[in-house]
Structure 1
Amino acid sequence: MAFKEAMRMFPSLGILHRVCARKCTIPEINLTLDPGVKILIPVAAIQNDEQYFENPSEFIPERFSSDNKMKHNYVYLPFGYGPRACIGERLGQMQSLTGLAAVLHKFKVVPGATSKEIPIVSHTSNVVQSVKDGLPLRLIPRNQY
C-alpha cells in the first residue's frame, strides 16, 4: 500500500503520451478527436487532484487497502492502463520493493538537513520525473541505534 501511495503522489512519469486510434467523442465537453491526434494524459495532475483523492498531498497508504475500492476508474495510472500499460510494471514494482527492503534492512532512513517536507518536482525532463535539488537523506546503520 505504501508503494502504491508513493507512486500516486510521485509517479515516475508525470505525463503519458498516446495517439488516438479511432474517432472518439468526449460527450462531457463535446470534443471529437480524430485518428492520429496526439494526446497527453497528465498523470501527476490527475493522481493529485482532490476530485479523485481526498487530501491528495497527504501520504495515506490506506487509500489502497482492500476496504477502500477506487471510486473512479482510470485515475491511478503510474504505469499506464490497458493494452498500452507498461509491460515492466510487475518487474519495476518487485525491483523497487526489493531494493527498498534491502536498504531498510541495513539502514534507518531519515531526512537530510536540507530536506523539504514536500519535495518539489522538477519539470525539466519530459521523460521521467525527478525531485528539484535532489532528495537529501541520511542513512544510519541499524547497529548504531
Structure 2
Amino acid sequence: MISEITGKYPIIKAYIDKIGSLGHNDYNPGLAVVNGSNQTNLGLFRAYMCQWLLNNPAIRSDEQILVRLMPPTGEGIPLQIWCFTATTNFTAYEAIQSAVFEHVAVTAIDFGLRLFNDPSGTDVTTVTLTPPASAQTNNPAPNAAAGSAS
C-alpha cells in the first residue's frame, strides 16, 4: 500500500522515508513498531494532508497549519484541519475551503480510509427481512405432517 501511495502522492515520500529510517517509535516509547516504523494509513493520510496544504499556493505556508486527529467517537475518528488562506476575499476563501474538503473526500480512499456519513432515508432502498436460520430449519413445511384424506 505504501508504494501505491508514494507513487500517486510523491509529496509524502520524504515523510515515509524519514519515519522508516528512524526504525523506532519516538512518539510512543515501549510500544511495538510495525515494519520498522509506526506508520498507519490514518497517520500517513494526516501527514499527506499537512504536506498538501504546505504546498498549496492558496494556503499561507507562513502561518500555522495543523492537521490533527481528534478523539474517536461512535462515528469514527475526526480529522481537524486548521490553515489560513492566501486571500481575504470571501468568495475565494469559500472556494478554497471547498477545494480542501473535496480533496480530503477524493484522496482518503487511496489511503484505505472511508468517510463517515450518517445514513438517511435515501441510503436504504430495499430492506428484506429474513428469519433466523434456526427458525428456517426447525419448522416443518406446511402440510408436511398432514396425512392424506380418505
**TM-score, with length taken from structure 2:** 0.25
Instruction: Flag the structure with higher strand content.
Output: 1
User: Greater Rg, structure 1 or structure 2?
Assistant: 2
TM-score, length basis structure 1: 0.25
